[in-house]
Amino acid sequence: MRQRPKKLSEDTKPSSSGEASGSSSEGPKVNNNVRVVAKRSVRAVLLYFVLIVYGSWSVYRYQFDTLPAPFTAEQVGKRGFSEHEAMEHVKELTEFGPHPVGSNALDLAVQYVKQAAETIKEKAHWEVDVELDLFHADPGANCLVGGLFKGKSLVYADLHHIVLRISPKHDYEAKESAILVSSHIDTVFSTEGAGDCSSCVAVMLELSRGVSQWAHGFKNAVIFLFNTGEEEGLNGAHSFITQHPWSDTIQMAIDLEAMGIGGRSSIFQAGPHPWAIEKFAEVAKYPSGQVAAQDLFESGAIKSATDFQVYKEVAGLSGLDFAYADRTAVYHTKNDKLNLLKPGSLQHLGDNMLSFLLQAAASSDLPKRNAVESDGRSVQETATYFDILGMYMVVYSQHSATMLNYSVIMQSLLIWTASLVMGGYSAVVSLILSCLSVILMWLFSISFSATIACTIPLISSSPVPYVSNPWLVIGLFGAPAFLGAFTGQHVGYLILQDYLENSFSKRRGNLSSRVQSDLAKLDAERWIFKSGLLQWLILLVIGSYFKIASSYLAIFWLVSPAFAYGLLEATLSPARLPKPLKTVTLLLGLSVPVLISSGLVIRLAATVIGTAVRFERNPGATPEWLGNLIVAVYISTVICLTMVYLLSYIHISGAKVPIIIASFILLGVSLCLITVGVVPPFTEDTARAVNVVHVVDTTGTYGNKQEPISYISLFSTTPGNLIKEAEHIGNKFVCGRDKRIDFVNFSVKYGCLTETSAKSGWQMSDVPQLHVVNDVKGDQRITQVSIDTKVSTRWSLGINTVMVEDFELKDDAETLVPVGDKTSADGWHTIQFSGGRNAPNKFTLTLYWDRNQTTTTKTENKKGNGILLKLRTDVNKLTPPVEKILHKLPSWCALFGKSTSPLTLAFLTNLPIHL
């Protein structure tokens, strides 16, 4: 790219600015021999791409894939953290196999943790007091209202926790102020849980060993809670925080979790008081945390919850929530196993946590529960925080973030106003047309990638063929999104160029048409570049208005390019003509934003892709292309936000054709790979989530002697039909949308059922019973129902809140859910019960009907499907028919467990509205 003026005087030399090119001033006379070449080197543009792509990948690898070397016990001594020692705990816990609540394996896992804690107690520093409590929780009800828990009462019984309190000996004041470190021992029924969360339990055991050698200098106790019941609805944390006598002393909570297996354990929730994140940033050896992940999690986009919600909502505690997030596709499946746990993962979390605990436990200024500011206002706003390459962490308050954001916004608006005033009418029109280019860029980018997203289910064996090979999304969605972004921006560029040519012909009529055309190209390029600044300014305004903490990203993507442009390109002289943007402007402007955000962008993309295996909460309820569309829109959004500056450099270069051809080739190759099946959508290590359930169904038979219907159900939370899997299994499975099953917590709207009855492996005495004991019809109808869940200590009961105003649940000994305000979801309130082997199985439910319900209308019947109560009981048992099918289950499939999913044997029954 170069400019070759012929015999130019000083007055005719092109300037480095186009801000005021729309001035009405006629300007100096210009020699008609002036020639401006508006062209950029192809190699330069390709080099920009290589630098940005390679730089982004390097940042990601360094920020998220670089792990510390594991240490042995000999290397760290008594007071350090050893991954080798922690890994021994992981190995022992995973050898028990899956250990869900109510299983013998969980009892063995709890006993192992207890023995390890006793060893720690025996070897503690002589001036340190280590107290060990095997806590058996009383029955209780967890009635959280936020996130996933609307319309639910989570009831529990017979839960056992290991609680370890470490404090200075003879310092009783330290015991009255404690820091809680918590994780869960239990797993879902489908996995040994190396990542979720044996790795967390192992880190806590090794941390407690180290802390037991330091605590003689502490001012606060440290309580390690190894709870059970987390996987069934955060019940372990709730039972501890509401029942244990030590819970009143806790001032701060730290939760350790996993949404995958291994890698860097990052903070994805902090606050609401900023003290913990500020101290962590000061002392952590390998700080890792992004407030953008917190914004995403709290938005509800990720359908999950952790014990931290209990500590924050129920106990009013502030603190930190950590999670492993590598390989999120293995979450709650058989592939959450030991051999996928990366070396250095435990060392990373352990070193960070040990440094933090030593600092926090020795501090005399821990924030109190429900901490308030000096003016009496509750602290509800957390800090903005993010790490840089996993080496440094930046933390600042919400107040500081607001001041910074508004300062940048005001300065940007002043600069834009000054520029438009000096540029006049032409500048205003140019700004409007450059904004049009941004709008077209977004429309074309999303349209192109969305088209591919909707096409993939038609040409591929799976609607999400990229789960086992996430880099396929670069070709499948990245290429069309980039093509669309460039096409849309180029259309806007041509419209803007045409306007500027007309403008130059009127104002610079003494120049040749060729020169006018080239000047218009150069000025259009500058306006397109500046439209990216305006795009980020708008996002910053929106983020500041709604107090979105991750708005800090807009600061970097606005300020850095604006600074580079202002330093190297801008001028206030209205008489200067535009010239090409400098290469160094792009490199200087994008270096900081790429450094700050590229790792986060790639990590979030991997998380979104990994969650595709469990995308459908109600299997078959969403279009097959919806998951693809979410991934496609995310990638289009990233490209439109981050490539807006780089794309402006392409329009006057010869790189347009090579880049377009390369993008089409990349897209074509990717489509061929998934169409032909060269790249499998799932593998043994990254499997499709499915559920095989032996269903015994007595719904619709209340009061009759009709025999239960028994069959095997196959369904998947991963988008796509199950025809290939059903054919692989055989066993006369029939698939379709007419095979619907209501599992109380969710509905299977597409699945497969066996045609043959499955009568073995269960008995009639196992079928749960709903029986109306009393039904009084007065001013308010009151119905008493006895519930016998027989062999099941895990069940879900749906109550029709269209008909029922309130209810009360009791077991033989006490009230579990009292009368009071109840929330509902889609006209139902769900009681979700989970307990140990000695949990009760007989209950009394008292229903208080809606006083306005004198008769049952057709509309109300329709809303409740004519059902008053619906019950599902679960048994963690492999019947012979299920064992046979699991033996034939393809290697690319894995059972998926969660609190709302049935176990491998489920009984269904209900009670009609007309009793």
pLDDT band at 540 (very low <50, low <70, confident <90, very high): very high
Q: Is the bond leading into 880 cis (omega within 30 degrees of zero)?
A: no
pLDDT band at 37 (very low <50, low <70, confident <90, very high): low
pLDDT band at 24 (very low <50, low <70, confident <90, very high): very low
pLDDT value for 280: 97
- Tokens representing 464 are 């999400």
Task: State the Cα angle at 299 between 66 and 373, rounded to 5°.
Answer: 90
* Span 815-824, pLDDT tens digits: 999 999 888 9
* Span 653-687, pLDDT tens digits: 888 999 999 999 999 999 999 999 899 999 999 99
Helix, strand, coil distribution of the chain in percent, nearest 5: 45, 20, 35
Give the bridge partners for 271, in sequence order: 319
For 260-264, what is the mean pLDDT? 95
pLDDT value for 564: 95
pLDDT band at 573 (very low <50, low <70, confident <90, very high): low
* Span 91-146, pLDDT tens digits: 999 999 999 999 999 999 999 999 999 999 999 999 999 999 999 999 999 988 77
Sorted by sequence, the CB contacts under 8 Å of residue 540 that are 6+ apart come out as 405, 408, 409, 551, 554, 555, 558
pLDDT band at 745 (very low <50, low <70, confident <90, very high): very high
CA 220 from chain centre, in angstroms, equals 33
pLDDT value for 38: 65
pLDDT value for 572: 58
Please choose, from the candidates 368, 373, 128, 382, the residue with its C-alpha nearest in 3D space to the C-alpha of residue 250.
368
Is residue 579 pLDDT above 90, yes or no? no
pLDDT band at 273 (very low <50, low <70, confident <90, very high): very high
Please choose, from the candidates 258, 264, 263, the residue with its C-alpha nearest in 3D space to the C-alpha of residue 333.
258
Is the pLDDT higher at 620 or at 513? Answer: 620
pLDDT value for 513: 83
- Tokens representing 517 are 């055309």
> For strand 318-324 and strand 250-258, is the pairing parallel, antiparallel, or unpaired?
parallel
Q: DSSP per residue over 864-878, as a string?
A: HTTEEEEEEEEE---
pLDDT value for 505: 80
* Span 377-430, pLDDT tens digits: 445 567 999 999 999 999 999 999 999 999 999 999 999 999 899 888 999 999
pLDDT value for 716: 97
Is residue 728 pLDDT above 80, yes or no? yes
DSSP class of residue 481 equals H
Is residue 7 pLDDT above 80, yes or no? no
pLDDT value for 574: 56
pLDDT value for 139: 95
Mean pLDDT of the chain: 90
> How large a percentage of the chain has pLDDT more than 90?
80
pLDDT value for 313: 92
pLDDT value for 757: 86
User: Quick check: 797 and 786 in contact, CB under 8 A?
Assistant: no
Query: HSE (CB half, 13 Å, CA atoms) of 480?
Result: 26
Query: HSE (CB half, 13 Å, CA atoms) of 907?
Result: 27
DSSP class of residue 706 equals P
For 602-616, what is the mean pLDDT? 94
Is residue 758 pLDDT above 80, yes or no? yes
Q: 203: helix, coil or strand?
A: helix
| H/E stretch holding 159 | strand 159-168
Q: Is the bond leading into 197 cis (omega within 30 degrees of zero)?
A: yes
pLDDT value for 23: 36
Is the pLDDT higher at 704 or at 616? Answer: 616
Is the pLDDT higher at 821 or at 731? Answer: 821
pTM summary value: 0.92
**Lowest mean pLDDT across 33-37, 207-211, 263-267, 451-455:** 33-37
User: Quick check: 241 and 385 in contact, CB under 8 A?
Assistant: no
The CA dihedral of 873, 877, 879, 881, to the nearest 10 degrees, is: 80
pLDDT value for 382: 75
SS (H, E, C) 753-822: EECCCCCCCCCHHHCCEEEEEEEECCCCCEEEEEEECCCCCEEEEEEECCCEEEEEEECCCCEEECCCCC
Is residue 371 pLDDT above 60, yes or no? no
Residues for the chain: how many in total?
Answer: 915
Is the pLDDT higher at 448 or at 778? Answer: 448
* Span 440-463, pLDDT tens digits: 999 999 999 999 999 999 999 999
> For strand 828-835 and strand 384-388, is the pairing parallel, antiparallel, or unpaired?
unpaired
pLDDT value for 36: 60
pLDDT value for 30: 43
Please choose, from the candidates 329, 289, 94, the residue with its C-alpha nearest in 3D space to the C-alpha of residue 199.
94
Is the pLDDT higher at 814 or at 375? Answer: 814
pLDDT band at 160 (very low <50, low <70, confident <90, very high): very high
pLDDT value for 853: 65
